[in-house]
Amino acid sequence: MIGRIIGALVGREMGRRDGRGGVKGAAMGWVAGSVMRRMGPLGMILGGGYAAKKAYDRRKVDKVRRGY
């Protein structure tokens, strides 16, 4: 279950990369989730790290835009 959640987060971040998201992001998330499950715990760590880094970068940009 955790793997599916991480796969969804990775798919969302990959879909946001081109700005459109939608079906393409969902498909990439499904593929990324499958690959991460095949890699085992290392895949989950890498996928979770990717999603966390993207969220951290987005938050940092938002802070700069607001002027905090």
Q: What pLDDT is recorded for position 56?
A: 92
Measured CA distances, 6 to 23, 35, 46, 64, 68 (Å): 17, 12, 10, 27, 30
How many Å apart are CA 50 and CA 58, to the nearest integer?
12
How many Å apart are CA 50 and CA 9, to the nearest integer?
9
Look at the block and give the residue holding tokens 């970068």.
Answer: 57
Whether 12 and 25 have beta carbons less than 8 Å apart is answered as: yes
List per-block mean pLDDT (blocks of 10 residues) for the chain, which spans 68 residues.
74 73 74 82 85 88 82
Q: What pLDDT is recorded for position 65?
A: 86
